[in-house]
């Protein structure tokens, strides 16, 4: 049996509590109820009033005050036509409606793969209402490993698939994390992306996928030390939003980010029950 020092275990427990709290935030990922592409001609969409369209560079919404739509930023009613423009991969919590306060459903405008889409975020979603925390493996101190970050001379953009087959993605690989795992003689190499303040994120497959975990997960690290060393804690492996909802456009791992190992640490598949 693996045991962890009390302080190490407590830090992980705080991490888990903060993670569950973040997922339970109003209009977060657990509230997604649709993903719909916008057409070039004004047309109705599912679950939302008004007429929606795009000319390729701008999205437009036409509605009357009776539709009950208001702008999220200002609370101003939509009575006529409003427009918004985004860059690829950007999102905007644009309009809201419904419920006692008029904000039960928030409509997110998104630009994905060069096309405009909307996603509805409904605070009454059953996934959100019934959420009681993400199931996770017990803490595994042996799956907190030292890794070496080997940066590439320049970032490399690698085409990838996403959770939505109609949306292609790009993984900007900045280097590799190289490490060993208990019971294995060979080194593992995972391509990493850089996040804020130099932190790294790796998206990976492992041999638990499909039985106890979702099809892929991700884990983040702190910024590497000056010597390139970094702690890779698989107890902090988390699910992408696509594990909770079919309306995510989450990136899949790059081709070689697959581990011939059962990473029995971090989050489990939320759709599976013990």
Cα–Cα dist 85/83, whole Å: 7
Could you tell me the pLDDT band of residue 272, with boundaries at 50, 70 and 90?
confident
Q: What global pTM score does this model have? A: 0.90
CB 133 within 8 A of CB 41: no
Cα–Cα dist 107/72, whole Å: 9
**pLDDT digits 0-9 by tens, 71-94:** 999 999 999 999 999 999 999 999
Could you tell me the pLDDT band of residue 4, with boundaries at 50, 70 and 90?
low
Q: In the chain, what percentage of residues exceed pLDDT 70?
A: 98
Which residue in 262, 6, 15 sits closest to 134, CA to CA?
15
Neighbouring-strand partners of residue 53: 60
Mean of per-residue pLDDT scores for the chain = 95
**pLDDT digits 0-9 by tens, 258-267:** 999 999 999 9
Could you tell me the pLDDT band of residue 2, with boundaries at 50, 70 and 90?
low
Cα–Cα dist 217/203, whole Å: 6
Which residue in 141, 217, 204 sits closest to 177, CA to CA?
204
Q: In the chain, what percentage of residues exceed pLDDT 90?
A: 95
Q: What is the DSSP letter of 182?
A: T
CB 41 within 8 A of CB 148: no
**pLDDT top residue among 136 and 196:** 136
Work out the average pLDDT over 205-232: 97
Q: What is the DSSP letter of 129?
A: H
Work out the average pLDDT over 230-239: 98
Could you tell me the pLDDT band of residue 1, with boundaries at 50, 70 and 90?
very low
**According to the model, what pLDDT value does residue 114 have?**
92
User: Nearest 5°: phi and psi at 199?
Assistant: -65, 160
**pLDDT digits 0-9 by tens, 149-176:** 999 999 999 999 999 999 999 999 999 9
Cα–Cα dist 123/4, whole Å: 38
**pLDDT digits 0-9 by tens, 110-154:** 999 899 999 999 999 999 999 999 999 999 999 999 999 999 999
**According to the model, what pLDDT value does residue 3 have?**
58
């Amino acid at each position: 049996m693996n045991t962890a020092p009390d302080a190490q275990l407590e830090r992980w427990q705080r991490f888990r509590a903060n993670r569950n709290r973040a997922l339970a935030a109003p209009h977060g990922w657990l509230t997604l109820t649709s993903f719909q592409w916008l057409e070039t001609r004004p047309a109705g969409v599912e679950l939302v009033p008004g007429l929606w369209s795009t000319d390729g560079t701008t999205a437009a919404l036409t509605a009357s005050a009776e539709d009950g739509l208001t702008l999220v930023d200002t609370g101003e009613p939509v009575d006529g036509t409003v427009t918004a423009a985004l860059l690829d991969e950007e999102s905007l919590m644009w309009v809201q409606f419904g419920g006692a306060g008029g904000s039960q459903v928030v409509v997110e405008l998104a630009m994905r793969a060069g096309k405009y889409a909307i996603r509805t975020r409904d605070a009454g979603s059953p996934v959100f209402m019934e959420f009681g925390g993400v199931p996770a493996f017990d803490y595994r101190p042996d799956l907190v490993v030292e890794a070496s970050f080997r940066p590439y001379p320049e970032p490399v953009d690698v085409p990838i698939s996403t959770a939505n087959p109609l949306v292609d993605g790009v993984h900007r690989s900045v280097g590799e994390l190289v490490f060993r795992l208990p019971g294995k003689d060979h080194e593992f190499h995972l391509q990493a992306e850089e996040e804020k303040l130099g932190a790294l994120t790796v998206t990976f497959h492992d041999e638990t996928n499909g039985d106890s975990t979702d099809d892929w997960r991700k884990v983040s690290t702190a910024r590497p030390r000056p010597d390139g060393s970094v702690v890779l804690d698989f107890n902090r492996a988390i699910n992408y939003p696509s594990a909770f909802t079919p309306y995510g456009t989450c990136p899949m791992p790059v081709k070689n980010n697959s581990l011939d190992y059962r990473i029995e640490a971090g989050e489990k598949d939320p759709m599976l029950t013990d």
